[in-house]
A and B are shown apart, each in its own frame.
Chain A
Amino acid sequence: MLSDIRVVELSAPETMMAGRILSDLGADVICVEPPGGAAGRRMEPFLGEAPGLERSLTWHALNRGKRGITLDPATADGRALLAELAGAADIVIEGAGPTAAAPSALGALPDRVIRCRVTPFLSDGAKRDYLGTDLVIAAATGAPGATGLPERPPLFHATPQTIMEGGAEAAIACLAALVARDGDAEGRGQTVEASRRLAGMLSALSIPVAAASGAPIPKRGPSRAKLAEVDLPAILPCADGWVILTLAFGPAFGPLTGRLVGWAAETGALPPRFAEIDWREAPKLAETGALTTADVRELVEGLARHCAALDKESFAASARRLGLLAAPLYDMHDILRSAQFRERGLWSAPVPLGPGGPEVEDPARFFQSAAHRIEVARPAPALSEHTAEILGGELGLAPAEIQALFVHGVI
């Protein structure tokens, strides 16, 4: 879909997902690193749990599909070549440096170029001088403040979310500017900005609008429903892991709860009388005392017994058959084994992890369409892998010139 588009990505952790998405959509993405390697090469986890510039699995996962070149922006030649490369691109993406207020690494570019900056906080906001790292920006989104157990510290994701969220929003900003350029008689680009904090705030869902609404402010913790003063569970242990289920009532959700309870009664985990309760009316029944605290405790214990007796796959199959809002908690191996993901075509051709490294499957196809099939054209670039190809091919440098640049540490 973007086969006519050239992207130059000045690699930073927060640009990697943006370049990855644009590459998935068919753009030619060139990732530019300093001669010592981009910061993303030092991000865990590592291949074989051993560090090395070609061993970061975060680097591999977020840079496959791109070509890579090294250029030292601290040298005059490095700057000139970067300006030439960026000036010929449709889209140029860069991180912001330590703060949103830090100057761009690039000088002026032609009007047609779309320039995107991924900033920690807004460059026109009160926190433009704030230093941001993934942990600190994530804390500012409101999502960790709502995640975890009451009385315990807030919880964060197991991968750095704000580089993912900021990068994905940057891809949206770049492509919206591209559509705007397509529709502009003069074909003008512009400068766009994706702030990692604002991007990450989406994962806080309604938390950002909670306090000003005047409604009671939610406390941290899994938003757990209660019935007859009993906490209703969501995540429960099963025979080989964990499952999540939904216990909700009223006209829309009551029938689903009824089917779940009926299933548990069928297996003997709950007495048959539970299957006869009209779960649409459960809150009213609890109010009138027709459903007691002891009943609901028995329900919760019975459901726990029911789940504990099932493995993830048989739980999932029955939940699907019954149309329940319930699912197993997959681990990465479950995901790799899942017939659903595989038959649907999520996985691209295996991607090698560096020269001589093992191959892994990549869940590249984040959408399915007859109009475009996402392919991973190449593994993540080894350091400077395409420098000679790009300087010689795209910029027309002679072999001796390329060698001279190397001798002088520019590449």
Chain B
Amino acid sequence: MTMPLEGVKVLDMGWVMVGPYSGRILSDLGAEVVKLESAKRIDPLRTLGPFKDGVPGPERSLSYHNFNAGKRSVTLDLADPAGREAVLRLVDWADVAIESFRPGVLAGLSLDWPDLSARNPRLIMVSTSLLGSTGPDTKGTPGVGTMGAAMSGASLLVGWPGEAPVGPHGPWTDAITPRFILPAVLAALHRRRETGAGAHLDVSQAEAGLQFYTPLLYAAQANGTSPSAPGLSGAALRAPHGVYACAGEDAWVAIDASADAPWARLRAEVGGALAAPQFDTLLGRLRGRERLDAALSAWTAPQDATGVERRLQAAGVPAHAVSSPVDLARDPELTGAHYARIQDPVFGEGVIEGPRLRFSRTPPRPASRAPRIGEHTREVLAGICGYPPERIDEMEAAGILR
């Protein structure tokens, strides 16, 4: 059976997360992805854990595998004219190229959009950086996803009311940006079918994060308010709606039974103080929120979070454990239909995530391991770039293939 993007060729020049994960989605969808990396300046994601068995090493990062699954890896020195020529041959081959260098770096190597599109007018090129490649503040500005979260407004709004902001988990915009890169790339592929023309798509990670906060941006303008961290989104207008402590260390269950029907089912399941007539109505529950939450917490406290989840779901109440890393690894939905086992020549067996999307006619590519650094350099230089073996030997001897 074919895959959705069967036949699409991708040159992935990204590193860390935004570029590589965008490439991973394209690979899941069936594209052939070649990742360009450097053995001299290795992808920082290879230095970030979790490492298999907790033993650090550039070929042991499960994060690297998770965001680069299914790709081939080629190492080339872009600063060398012969390395640059090899990249241009990959550009000839590619339908899509992705880069996440600091703005200005590729121009310095004469490998930015004007150079690449002159070489391949059908190329769809993605440039992504913290602030994008235009605007007064962008030149030379390095960026990480924690800065993207800060500049998109999210960091200030994740926290407790009246306290120092906490910010979302990790480099948040690294996770959001690929969701805006992919639709643009796919729409450009659709457009190219009619026009034959490529496109340069310049995506700012801070601007991508802001897309998920537009309701509050509208509120700031229309209501003149300065939205502040709510603790729990939506909680002010709903009850019961929140997280409740369970048995064990840092164990919580999320319950959302504010609407009448799930509320009636929750009440029937829990009984006790929840039966008080005060809680018959939404207004009663909102006004008595502290008592209500205390009663519900007293019920959840001695129970296992996953047990509460199963019990309430069986009773027709929306509830789920606040999944910890261990909960995720054991979750029956994820072990049954999402996680994929990989076999790696360096560390043996590992578990990464499978494709996220489902297609009835053109299923995505099953997940496989990510490449070792430069694992496919010779294969790619011969098969895609068309270099004869003796030329590849020369390039290797000259230190260009690192």
Contact = CB atoms under 8 A, between A and B. Distances in A.
Given A124-B358, A195-B356, A330-B156, A140 B5 contact: no
B6 interface: yes
Contacts of B151: 327-328, 330, 335
B180 A367 contact: yes
Contacts of B253: 139
Interface in B1-28: 2-8, 17, 21, 25
B200 A179 contact: no
A333 interface: yes
Contact of B218 (A22, A61, A160, A329): A61
B222 A358 contact: yes
Interface residues of A, number: 152
A126 B332 contact: yes
Nearest to A26: B187
A215 B51 contact: yes
Interface string B158-169: 111000111111
B254 A136 contact: yes
Contacts of B206: 341
A199 interface: yes
Contact of B207 (A164, A324, A363): A363
Nearest to A209: B62
Contact of B325 (A217, A252, A328): A217
A411 interface: no
Contacts of B318: 130-133, 135-136
A44 B189 CA distance: 36
Contacts of A150: 250
Contacts of B215: 43, 45, 57-58, 61-62, 159
B357 interface: yes
A256 B208 CA distance: 26
B358 A21 contact: no
Contacts of B334: 125, 208
A383 to B, nearest CB: 18
Nearest to B55: A215
Interface residues of B, number: 155
Interface string A295-329: 00000000000000000000010001001111111
Contact of B356 (A21, A199, A316, A368): A199
Given A176-B5, A213-B50, A369-B202, A246 B146 contact: yes
Contacts of A340: 131, 135-138
Interface string B278-319: 000000000000000000000000000000000001001111
A133 B156 CA distance: 24
B179 A45 contact: no
Contacts of B351: 209, 212-213
Contacts of A48: 222-223
Interface in B226-262: 226-227, 229-234, 237, 241-243, 245, 250, 252-256, 262
B213 A158 contact: yes
A153 B222 contact: no
B190 A211 contact: no
Nearest to B141: A320
Contact of A326 (B147, B160, B252, B254): B147
Contacts of A45: 215-216, 218-219, 223, 227
B52 interface: yes
A201 interface: yes
Interface in B148-200: 150-160, 164-172, 174-176, 178-184, 186-191, 193-194, 197-200
11 contacts: A57-B222, A173-B359, A180-B359, A202-B179, A209-B65, A215-B49, A235-B166, A252-B44, A340-B135, A341-B135, A353-B222
A-B interface, 7 closest residue pairs, ranked by CB to CB distance from nearest: A371-B199, A139-B254, A332-B220, A175-B186, A344-B135, A211-B329, A190-B361
